[in-house]
A and B are shown apart, each in its own frame.
Chain A
Amino acid sequence: MLTELNIRKFLAPEIIFGDGAIELLGRYVRNYGAGRVFIVTDQGLVQAGLLERAQTILAAAGVDLVVYDKVSPNPRDYEVMEAAELYHQSHCDIIIALGGGSPMDCAKGVSIVSANNNHILTFKGVDNVEIPGPPLICLPTTSGTSADVSQFAIINNTEERVKVAIISKTMVPDLALLDPGLTLTMNRDLTLCTGMDALVHAIEAYVSSASSQLTDLHALEAIRLIQRSLPKVLDNLNDVELREQMMLASLEAGLAFSNASLGAVHAMAHSLGGLLDLPHGECNTLLLDAVIKRNYEAVPERYDRIGEIFGVQMQGIAPERRAQAVAEAVLSFKRQLGFESGLDKRGVRLDDITLLAQKALADPCMVTNPRRFELADIEAIFKEAL
């Protein structure tokens, strides 16, 4: 009801942004009064030497630590439970997530599981976390998921092969320590996927039925930054300044969607990701233009604004042609980046679509989509994206 009455909330963690920000980790851990630190990370980060860097900083601060480094891409429910058990047994009292969306989502899961002593899947849905977890510091090494500022955690229910969204303000991290230097380790594919994820976050937050002026500012700025910097960074992966632009874009997109929520693209991408175990950003990218076409009529002015950012002169286009124009602008941006469309090429068959659509309809992200979809609408979008 409050959303309908145009009442809005804006919530963000404490944010430290800048090249070399990781050096402040020791100070913050001490300030939180940590006795023993629990670090959640993955093998990629271990190999990249980032864990060792974090350990050196923490050792200099005189803090004891325990590491869980077995998080897989798209963190699995049992991994969360395993990490929570290790956290509990080693008597840690603060959690650091080092990595992309997967370690951060896993760390959020560890936090609430340890505080509530329940299985991770019991928190599925919105506002189902009773007790907030211990202090959580996020050190993202990608620019896209925005898990470092969001209230979301996406966990893979391995038994039912579906990604479960856990949404709770109790999971907004205490500190986002954003160091663009850490994102230099990303390769081109990962940079593309995460950058596109950030773009979808910004677009969906901007057209969200719960958007507000506060989130609009961040969403629009994020779209502009990504439109400008993503093509460049893909050609200059070691350019720290470009990486910083993308990290800033991801942060702004994150602040926007964390407070305005998302829409159909994410709802459908979650469903798709559960079926194929594809990277989240790739799923989003595959569906984005098809959703724009169907959503356009709900908030045409907002989509026009997006089209203009992508260089379309909307004034010169007939209203009935505009949805197509915006979708095509996005599609051409994808092509510019070298992204190959087509669900069929990823292994989706026509038979899968009904189930995919059913799961997407049940996804909480669907709630703030500007248009209320029926199952048939979603099936149609999937078909178009094939």
Chain B
Amino acid sequence: MTNHSASGDSWDDLKDAIVGLGERSVRKSYYPELRTKIRDLDEQRIFFRSTLNSIPDGVVVMDADGVIKQANPALCTMFGYTPEELVGQPQTILYERDGEKFRHADFPTDWSRRFLRKDGAAFLGETMENEIYDHEGKLLGTLELIRDRTDQLFEIRRQRQLEEQLRQSQKMAAIGTLAGGIAHDFNNLLAAILGYAELALLKLPPGVALQREIRQILKAGGKASELVNQILAFSRKETTKRILLQPGVLLKEVIKLLRGTIPSTVTIQEQIAVTDRVILANPTQLHQVVMNLCTNAFHAVEDNGGEIALAMEIVRKAIPASQEEREWIKISVIDNGCGIDPANIDRIFEPYFTTKPSGKGTGMGLAVVHGIVENHEGRIFVESVKGEGTTINVFFPVVTGIETPQIQPESQSLVGGSESILVVDDEQMVADYLKSFLEQLGYTITVCNDGNAALLAFERNPQGFDVVITDQTMPGKTGFEIARTMLAVRPELPIILCSGYSSALSPERVTKAGIREFMMKPVSLHDLAPVIRSVLQEEAS
């Protein structure tokens, strides 16, 4: 027997281990192993669940029978269910129309489907499905990925509307150009008709029976003139110049226009208060505001007939967002038509928003109205009850401290003079009636039919004319060009530029060039006479 002292320790350790007393001599139990496996499974489950929960698209998992086993939070939010409410339900609970799939032209995706929320609302979603198999190839169920496409659909529709709007505005611009051209020619003819009618009236001795017929010509001609002005207002580029005006006059004009175009199933009421209050506004834009509002009101009552009321009154109140109490001119457009859906009421001022069928509206109307009113420091409010009607109230601040312009009495007698006037117009008829009319008032008239002839006459004797009245649109030189040439020689020369249709000339540009007056054709003789006097007086002073 030998002493194994050198390896004694390891020998002892081995001996301990063999009889179960070693450091690692543990009674067998499967539990730690199971615990590790359970922990691994838990971690895996948490990982997979967290992964599923973090998917931003809706994910729903069905068993082989189509019963919902799992739904991620994105899906629950999308559909308004809690996970507990969904688990155990058939997958068809999520579908409208039995879950029929279809390709949607607007989406670059394979399939779309109409889905149904818990609250009954339906929405369009993109859908992708896949079958789930276990490791032995047995079908476990299906997985569906759902993406809510409501926003994209809205975006696509908006895009479509934008394109439609662009087409529409291009069409309108073309029509405007066309209408402007026609109106210009028509205006010249109208000027002649009116001019000669006025001339005829002046020549007739008072009390002659023919006067009544001529007055009817003037009246009809006046209406025609208004109509042409409407077309011109439409075709003309917008100006931003604001003047002091009483909206009542403008409103009455709109009503007149409406009455001429709206079918008799729609009645129009007017309640225009008599007032001397004025606002600072661009008449064209104000016209557009009222016209747009009335057009909308008309569309609201169009199908079933009804009533549109246009009202104007002076109110004194504090309006939200300005707070300060002050005077306003309140213009109301009221209809008893279909009303606005409460869901849409916040959106009606958005550009391109429209509930009208294609062809009935551009969706721009109320947006423009809103923009104009805002620019005028005004306010606009909508009240609407679905099925009962809509009231739109527009407030414009009353301007105080500025003297109200005197309204000229209509039957003012015409003031004449003895000055020498150069009349330039390529339309012989217009030139002739101006010559006749002004000569009646005592003036000495020289007529030229184009710019070159006029300049020739002017150069021959620059001091020979006290006033120049010229048409703008002529073959060869324009009225504006003539005016500039003359003003270069005689800066103080009063020039009145008349134009029926001008897209190139702005009043600012005309004024800047030193031209005294700018008059829209057809020029009424009643208007022209005082203008001549006023430019001559200015020059004298």
Contacts and interface: CB of A to CB of B under 8 A. Distances in A.
Contacts of B32: 131-132
A159 interface: no
Contact of B2 (A8, A174, A372): A372
A202 interface: no
B387 interface: no
Contact of B28 (A2, A132, A261): A132
Nearest to A152: B18
Contacts of B22: 126-127
Contact of A127 (B11, B24, B33): B24
Interface string A1-44: 11110011101000000000000000000000000000000000
Contacts of A133: 28, 30
Interface of B: 1-2, 4, 11-30, 32-33
Interface string A281-305: 0000000000000000010000000
A183 interface: no
Contact of B12 (A4, A131, A171): A4
Given A127-B25, A132-B28, A372-B2, A169 B20 contact: yes
A134 interface: yes
Nearest to B19: A210
Given A133-B28, A368-B15, A372-B1, 20 more contacts: A1-B13, A3-B12, A3-B19, A4-B15, A7-B21, A8-B21, A9-B20, A131-B32, A134-B30, A167-B17, A167-B18, A169-B25, A209-B15, A210-B18, A259-B19, A259-B20, A261-B19, A298-B1, A368-B19, A372-B2
B28 A170 contact: yes
B16 A1 contact: yes
Q: Would you list the 8 A-B pairs with minimal beta carbon distance, nearest first?
A: A170-B28, A132-B28, A127-B24, A210-B19, A9-B20, A2-B21, A126-B17, A261-B18
A241 B29 CA distance: 35
Contacts of A259: 19-20
Nearest to B17: A126
Nearest to A212: B19
Nearest to A257: B19
A133 B12 CA distance: 28
Contacts of B2: 372, 374
B33 A115 contact: yes
Contacts of B1: 298, 371-373
A300 B378 CA distance: 123
20 contacts: A2-B16, A3-B19, A3-B21, A4-B12, A8-B19, A8-B21, A115-B33, A126-B18, A131-B33, A168-B25, A169-B25, A169-B28, A170-B26, A172-B28, A174-B28, A364-B14, A367-B14, A367-B15, A371-B1, A373-B1
Contacts of B29: 132
Given A371-B1, A372-B2, A11 B18 contact: no
A9 B19 contact: yes
Nearest to A167: B18
Q: Max chain A CB contacts within 10 Å: which of B4, B15, B19?
A: B19
Contacts of A298: 1
Contacts of B25: 9, 126-127, 168-169
Given A11-B20, A372-B2, A372-B4, A3 B28 contact: no
B30 A132 contact: yes
Nearest to B2: A374
B26 to A, nearest CB: 6
B27 A11 contact: yes
B28 A171 contact: yes
A131 B24 CA distance: 11
B4 A126 contact: no
Contacts of A374: 2
Contact of A3 (B16, B27, B30, B33): B16
A371 B4 CA distance: 11
A260 interface: yes
A172 B18 CA distance: 13
Contacts of A170: 26-28
A174 B13 CA distance: 26
A73 interface: no
A135 interface: yes
Contacts of B23: 127
Given A1-B12, A364-B14, A132 B33 contact: yes
B285 to A, nearest CB: 83
A194 interface: no
A169 B33 contact: no
A134 B19 CA distance: 23
A364 B12 contact: no
Contact of B21 (A9, A131, A135, A168): A9
A74 interface: no
A4 B12 CA distance: 8
Nearest to B27: A169
A371 B1 CA distance: 7
Contacts of A135: 30
A11 B19 CA distance: 9
A169 B17 CA distance: 9
Given A4-B12, A133-B30, A170-B26, A367 B21 contact: no
A151 interface: yes
Q: Max chain A CB contacts within 10 Å: which of B4, B11, B21, B32?
A: B21
A1 B23 CA distance: 11
A129 to B, nearest CB: 8
Nearest to B33: A131
B30 A126 contact: no
B21 to A, nearest CB: 4
A115 B28 CA distance: 12
B33 A368 contact: no
B20 A151 contact: yes
Contacts of A368: 15, 18-19
A11 B25 CA distance: 11
Interface in A168-203: 168-172, 174
B18 A169 contact: no
Contact of B14 (A4, A7, A126, A260): A126
Contacts of B20: 9, 11, 151, 169, 259
Contacts of B14: 126, 364, 367
Interface string A119-137: 0000000110001111100
A141 to B, nearest CB: 23
Contacts of A372: 1-2, 4
Nearest to A371: B1
Nearest to B36: A131
A230 B198 CA distance: 155
A132 B33 CA distance: 7
Interface in A308-367: 364, 367
Nearest to B3: A372
B25 to A, nearest CB: 5
A372 B15 CA distance: 12
